Amino acid sequence: MTGSSQYSNQPAALVLEDGRVFRGSAYGAVGATLGEAVFCTAMTGYQETLTDPSYHRQIVVATAPQIGNTGWNTEDDESEKIWVAGYVVRDPARRASNWRASTTLPEELDRQDVVGIAGVDTRALVRHLRTRGSMKAGIFSGDALAADAELLRRVNDQQAMLGADLADEVSTDSMYTIEPIGEHRYTVVAVDLGIKTNTPRMFAQRGIRVHVVGSNTGFDQITELKPDGVFLSNGPGDPATQDGAVELTKSILGQGIPLFGICFGNQILGRALGRKTYKMAFGHRGINIPVIEHETGRISITAQNHGFALEGERGERFDTPFGPAEVSHVCANDGTVEGVRLLDGRAFSVQYHPEAAAGPHDAAYLFDRFADLMAGGPAAQRKEAHTDATS
């Protein structure tokens, strides 16, 4: 149950599963919300963060001290709604100051019934999460406030993120198509596990038609669309729950169809290649995370949002049913696996977001790499064979 606050002096509390309580004021809607407390180090792009489906069931803590300066506009959403379970900020802007703004951040949070809290010592909170790890949490304000012991019970009674199957909850209910800009070069089927708006846009800019399909779409349905390549999107939850997506990926690899995955899609491809996943202590969430490409030594500053990762080491090569593969990218900060690929080149994925709308754009070239891959894929070979046969 929620009510109106926007930003007021109504008391609110953020309660963590280990019993730590942070006090503040209601921000956005008033009421109660539960989720996993995580922190995001991005200094800009809060609208893109809040509307990213990968944040489904997570209470996001903004490390940037002041939030809301540029308000809320009608153009920068990464999906049709705000997906975060709750929002925690330190110093909310007193007013929105941007010519594109159509409303303020707290007004939009209130309109979409997103419960938040402001005035929190986010430095102390982030240090706590950085030390103890992401954990179950809840934000409570208005009539939802109760004794700390009761609030803690509510927090701990919720489902953990480990083992959570969430992709179906954010995926599209029906297929839709984004047409290419300019000449049509290729056709891609994008499996929506929590896709962001900017991903089909990045394909379209390269002359690629994109059929976005639901997470439960079968292999036969995909091949009926005659794709030149298949894309596995980002998304929320535990990749260990995605047996269906893993089997679909194996079928795609078995047919030699070019494949590209990001974030959740990286974990799905990794599992299809025989790798295991694990839950990270506090994950990577921000737009300033350096990644090293093993083959070239190239370093990209990347946008990321993930709490799970693939097992492996930089440059590690391993055998798969589809040929040899390797760990292609790692995080420069902690060595986390940030990408895998088949050595024959027909499938690759990265853990970060090359389509990041709020930036940075260092990794946008990966869309061009996928286009180059499709140029020599099975669909292209069939077209060449047909041309030779009719000439």
Q: What does the alpha-carbon distance between residue 34 and residue 308 come to, in Å, rounded to a whole number?
A: 20
235 is in an annotated binding site: yes
**Alpha-carbon torsion angle 200, 203, 209, 215, nearest 10:** -40
Question: Catalytic site residue 211?
Answer: no
31 is in an annotated binding site: no
Q: Which of 56, 211, 284, 353 is catalytic?
A: 353
Query: With contact defined as beta carbons under 8 Å apart, do 4 and 28 qualify?
Result: no
pLDDT at 200: 95
Q: What does the alpha-carbon distance between residue 307 and residue 294 come to, in Å, rounded to a whole number?
A: 22
**Residue 9 or 237, more confident:** 237
219 is in an annotated binding site: no
**216-266: pLDDT as tens digits:** 999 999 999 999 999 999 999 999 999 999 999 999 999 999 999 999 999
Q: Indicate the pLDDT class of residue 63, thresholds 50, 70 and 90.
A: very high
pLDDT at 136: 98
9 is in an annotated binding site: no
**72-98: pLDDT as tens digits:** 999 999 999 999 999 999 999 999 999
**Structure tokens given for 2:** 């929620």
260 is in an annotated binding site: no
Q: What does the alpha-carbon distance between residue 308 and residue 336 come to, in Å, rounded to a whole number?
A: 10
Alpha helices in 320-377 (DSSP H): 365-375
Query: With contact defined as beta carbons under 8 Å apart, do 302 and 296 qualify?
Result: no
**175-197: pLDDT as tens digits:** 999 999 999 999 999 999 999 99
Structural domains of the chain in order of their starting residue, each with its CATH number: 2-157 (3.50.30.20), 167-384 (3.40.50.880)
**94-143: pLDDT as tens digits:** 999 999 999 999 999 999 999 999 999 999 999 999 999 999 999 999 99
**Structure tokens given for 35:** 């989720």
Q: What does the alpha-carbon distance between residue 152 and residue 138 come to, in Å, rounded to a whole number?
A: 8
130's CB contacts (< 8 A; 6+ apart) are 39, 282
Q: Which of 263, 284, 306, 326 is catalytic?
A: 263
Q: Which residues of 19-33 are buried (b: 16+ CB within 10 A; e: fewer)?
A: ebebebbbbbbbbbb
User: How far is Cα of residue 302 from the mean position of the Cα atoms in its chain?
Assistant: 13
User: How many other CB atoms sit within 10 Å of the CB of residue 175?
Assistant: 15
pLDDT at 355: 83
Question: Catalytic site residue 331?
Answer: no
pLDDT at 1: 38
**270-327: pLDDT as tens digits:** 999 999 999 999 999 999 999 999 999 999 999 999 999 999 999 999 999 999 999 9
- Single pTM value for the model: 0.92
User: How far is Cα of residue 264 from the mean position of the Cα atoms in its chain?
Assistant: 7
Alpha helices in 59-147 (DSSP H): 105-111, 122-132
3 is in an annotated binding site: no
68 is in an annotated binding site: no
Asked whether the predicted pLDDT for residue 359 surpasses 80, the reply is no
Looking at every residue in the chain, the average pLDDT score rounds to 93
**34-62: pLDDT as tens digits:** 999 999 999 999 999 999 999 999 999 99
163's CB contacts (< 8 A; 6+ apart) are 238, 240, 241
Q: What does the alpha-carbon distance between residue 78 and residue 58 come to, in Å, rounded to a whole number?
A: 16
User: How many other CB atoms sit within 10 Å of the CB of residue 290?
Assistant: 14
Query: With contact defined as beta carbons under 8 Å apart, do 251 and 221 qualify?
Result: no
